[in-house]
């Protein structure tokens, strides 16, 4: 009886770690990122699509407007490490002729869920 119980606990720990690992996104696996003015973020990787939202007081629309007014159509994004709920995303101004990107601001991801 004890051996069967031990095996079931080990299997449950194995499967729970696999589920937790899917909540983290490696930057190398990202194919596309889209951000809406309402504060939602959509991330497409090689294997899954994720949908998340930023914390409510994040001025995402302001960063998008600053990028549009500067004549750029792409907003630069940067995250230190793995992307997950609670990660900070830094918004960068993507001017072509400058070596250093101008930091516009940053926002934290409140939630991140697998869509497909």
Residue 21: phi, psi to the nearest 5? -70, -25
Q: How confident is the model at residue 12 (pLDDT cuts 50, 70, 90)?
A: very low
Q: What is the pTM of this model?
A: 0.69
Give per-residue pLDDT as tens, 54-112. Answer: 988 889 888 888 777 766 666 788 888 889 999 998 888 776 656 667 788 899 999 99
What's the confidence (pLDDT) of residue 10? 39
Residue 101 sits in which domain range? 2-114
Res. 51: pLDDT tops 90: yes
What is the rounded CA–CA span in Å between residue 84 and residue 27? 11
What total of structural domains would you count in the chain?
1
What is the rounded CA–CA span in Å between residue 65 and residue 56? 18
What's the confidence (pLDDT) of residue 20? 45
């Amino acid at each position: 009886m004890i051996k069967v119980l031990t095996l079931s606990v080990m299997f449950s720990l194995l499967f729970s770690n696999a589920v937790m690992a899917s909540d983290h996104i490696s930057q190398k696996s990202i194919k596309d990122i889209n951000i809406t003015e309402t504060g939602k973020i959509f991330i497409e990787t090689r294997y899954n699509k994720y949908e998340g939202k930023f914390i409510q007081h994040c001025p995402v629309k302001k960063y998008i407007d600053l990028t549009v007014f500067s004549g750029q159509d792409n907003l630069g994004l940067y995250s230190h490490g793995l992307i997950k709920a609670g990660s900070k995303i830094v918004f960068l101004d993507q001017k072509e002729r400058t070596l250093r990107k101008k930091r516009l601001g940053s926002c934290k991801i409140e939630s991140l869920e697998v869509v497909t």
